[in-house]
Amino acid sequence: MYLVTLTGNLLIILATISNTHLHTPMYFFLANLSFSDICFTSTTVPKMLLNIQTETKTLAYGSCLTQMYFFMVFGGLDDFLLTVMAYDRYVAICHPLHYMVIMNPRLCGLLLLASWMLSALDSLIHGLMVLRLSFCTELEVPHFFCEFTQVIQLACSDTFLNELAMYFATGILAVIPLTGILFSYSKIACSILRISSRGGKFKAFSSCESHLSVVSLFYGTAFGVYLSSAATQNPRASTIASVMYTVVTPMLNPFIYSLRNKDIKHASKTISC
C-alpha cells in the first residue's frame, strides 16, 4: 500500500510538471496535495514497516516528537489544500470569465505559502507545549505512531493547556476549513442549478467531482477515527481506524483523480509511454 501511495502520487506530480496543459491553478494545488500525501504517509509507515520487520517497537523520545510534529504539519497542510482547491473550483464555476485573473500565480503562491505557514505554526505550538510536560519512564503508546492525543494522555503532569490548545486547533484546522469547503460547494451547487442545459450541468459538476470525492474521503475517515476513539477505549479499534486516514486515504487520492480526470489520465499515459 505504501509503494502504491508513493507511485500514484509521484505520477500525478510528474504528469503536472511535464504536461503544459496541466499548468493551471487546479493542477498546481493537486500536485502539492500529492506531495503532501507522500510526506504525510512517510512520517509513519516506514517506521511501522521497520518495527514489523525487526520485531521491535521502540522509539526514542526525540524521534517521537519529530514524528508527531511532521505528522501534524502534513495533516494540516492536506486540510488547507483541500480548502484552497474548493475555492479554486468555486471561482472556476461561479466566475469562469474572471478565473485566470482571480486565480493568478501570485494568489496561488500566497495561498500555498499561507497553508504551509499555518500548518507549521500549529504543529510548532503543539510540539513546544508537549516539551513542557513530564513523562514517567518506560512509556508505551498504544498506537502504531506517536499521535498527539495518545502521547499527552501518558503525561505525568497537568495536560489542561495541551487539551485546550488541541480543541482550539481543531476549530482552526477542521471547523473553519470544512465550513469554507461547504460554503464554496453551496455556491457551486446554486450556480450549477442555474445552468439550463443538462450537458452543461454535467460538465460543471464533473470538474469538481474528483475533489468532492477526496474531501469526503479525507473528512469521513478523519472524523471516523475521532468518533470511534470517543465511543470506545479499545486501542486496537482506534489504531485500525487511524490506518484509514494515514495510509488508505493518501493511497486512494491518486486513483480518484486518475480515474475521474481525463487530463490526468492522458498525461499519465504519456509519461508511461
Those residues with Cβ within 8 angstroms of residue 71's Cβ, 6 or more apart along the chain or in another chain: 40, 43, 44, 145, 146, 147
* Separation CA 69–CA 72 (nearest Å): 5
User: What local confidence, expressed as pLDDT, does residue 83 receive?
Assistant: 94
Q: 1-53: per-residue pLDDT in tens?
A: 899 999 999 989 998 888 888 889 999 999 999 999 999 999 989 988 888 88
* Separation CA 12–CA 258 (nearest Å): 8
pLDDT higher for 172 or 77? 77
User: What local confidence, expressed as pLDDT, does residue 256 receive?
Assistant: 83
User: What local confidence, expressed as pLDDT, does residue 271 receive?
Assistant: 62
Q: 136-147: per-residue pLDDT in tens?
A: 766 777 677 888
Task: Indicate whether 78 pLDDT > 80.
Answer: yes
Are 31 and 57 contacting, i.e. CB atoms less than 8 angstroms apart? no
User: What local confidence, expressed as pLDDT, does residue 232 receive?
Assistant: 56
pTM value is 0.89
Give the residue extent of every domain in the chain. 2-272
Q: 199-258: per-residue pLDDT in tens?
A: 878 877 877 888 888 888 888 877 766 665 555 556 666 677 777 778 888 888 888 877
User: What local confidence, expressed as pLDDT, does residue 225 receive?
Assistant: 66
* Separation CA 130–CA 59 (nearest Å): 16
DSSP letter assigned to residue 97: G
Task: Indicate whether 86 pLDDT > 80.
Answer: yes
Query: Partners of 135 in the beta sheet?
Result: 155
Task: Indicate whether 272 pLDDT > 60.
Answer: no
pLDDT higher for 55 or 73? 73
Domain 2-272 belongs in CATH node 1.20.140.90? no
The residue-averaged pLDDT of 145-166 equals 82
**% of residues, the chain, pLDDT over 70:** 87
